[in-house]
Amino acid sequence: MTWRGKRVHFIGIGGIGMSGIAKMLHSQGAAVTGSDINSREKVEELRAFGIHVELGPHDAASIDPSIDIVVISAAIKPSNVELREARRFGIEVLTYAEMLGRLMSEMKGVAVSGTHGKTTTTAMTASILTAAGFDPSFVIGGEVRALGGTSKVGSGEIFVVEACEYKRSFHNLLPQVAVITNIEEDHLDYYRDLQEISESFREFASHVPEDGLIVANTQDRNVRAVVAKQKATVQTYGVRVEADWMGSEPVWDGKRTRFHASFRGEPIGEFELQVVGVHNVLDALAAMAACSWLGAPTEAVYDGLATFEGVGRRFEILGRCGGVTVVDDYAHHPTEIQVTLKAARDRFAGRRIWCVFQPHQHSRTRFLMKDFARSFGNADKIVIPDIYFVRDSEADRELVTSLDLVGEISNLGGDAVYFPSFGEIEQYLMKNMREGDVLITMGAGDVYKVAHAVLERINGHAKGSPGGSALKEKEASQ
């Protein structure tokens, strides 16, 4: 389809994915406009890109009959005034996932799916393809400073995106290459159970054509079952297991993770990452498989991985002050918590680890309560604020609280406490942390604010104390 001259309006344009495809359409000559209630930073970025965006309450006046397509984010409700006006005029309305599918159908698509790990794998894939000179377009669900942000409109034919399973949105995609990192219970406010989730992934995998490629994590039995008997070629990957793409046990040397890789028994070489953890090596192997199939040479794979600095809010080290290291991470699923804390234990061996975990959704917390409670084994101290309320009903809200999770963790021997507000948590941390500690904030909500606030407090104390930080002084006085 030729987008030049088409008028496309985005309702909720400030989201990572929405803003990314808005830029793509603008670059292809479409007249793009948009509206958003509060994503000021992203709105300013879009305005600088040349896209007209209204910031503030949605207004029916933003819609007129000359608009060809209206694209809505997942957060837009049927009662939205702009959406209702678009339907009144008979304008075609597409969800973000539907528009993403249209754009992918015009390019060589790479779709990275999985319960977790897809943001990092997508970013690694884009990094390798960029190093190979393919100049891909991409939309990534996190900030990747080395790639210039969350999205890019490239001059090449390859389009790399995250493929989200929520509400089966990835069924709108028809990729040439599909990656499946893992399949676990999640989004149980939408899916009935793991079987239904697996069926959804099986449908997604079936969209890859016979001459395409499915990259599958062989260490996940659910993934193995889903990719069996698919029409496309399947290449597996794993660490310390038999697979097409095999990685060795990773070694963290204090600065980088090093591992050896082979393809179908033939050694490829030693690779290095600036990020830590077996889960990151698995993500690297998946990206390696996808990019090699697309024609990226081994040298580009090495360079793309070696220069990859990570994704914002994925084990992001925000700073070190007063002898305390502050890290922020997006982990909001039990497996993500486990692998992130294991990586922290490996990287910060011998240091006391504080984890401030903000549960995301009451329904997810309730359905996965036991798994959440078991996931904090590598944390010395666990602090839980109120559950981040999103998408749930008031009935869901009444069925579970953060105190329930604290109780489950404590029953398993964990040292967990609850504070309802971030301010109380910050005060508790400042009073009880000491030099040498590591603070990790975790969650898909706004818990990152605790990390930034604590770092600012420690820094303020350090500047105001002639003998060093307040944390050091407290420890010395005890």
Active site residues: 118-119, 162
Find the helix packing angle between 298-306 and 118-131, rounded to 10°. Answer: 120
Q: Give dist(CA 63, CA 54) in Å, integer.
A: 12
> What is residue 458's three-state secondary structure?
helix
Nearest to 12 by CA among 62, 64, 48: 62
Radius of gyration of the chain measured on its C-alpha atoms: 23
Nearest to 291 by CA among 175, 118, 132, 103: 132
Q: Give dist(CA 253, CA 461) in Å, integer.
A: 32
Beta bridge partner(s), residue 357: 442
Direct distance between the N- and C-terminal alpha carbons of the chain, in angstroms, rounded to an integer: 70
| Whether the Cβ atoms of residue 396 and residue 362 lie closer than 8 Å to each other | yes
Only one residue has tokens 């039995």, namely 221
Only one residue has tokens 């002898």, namely 323
Burial annotation 169-186 (CB, 10 A radius, 16+ → b, else e): bbbbbbbbbbbbbbbbbb
> What is residue 264's three-state secondary structure?
coil
Q: Give dist(CA 478, CA 474) in Å, integer.
A: 6
**Residues in Cβ contact with 203 at an 8 Å cutoff, skipping those fewer than 6 apart:** 168, 171
Structure tokens at 302: 């090495």
Q: Give dist(CA 300, CA 468) in Å, integer.
A: 45
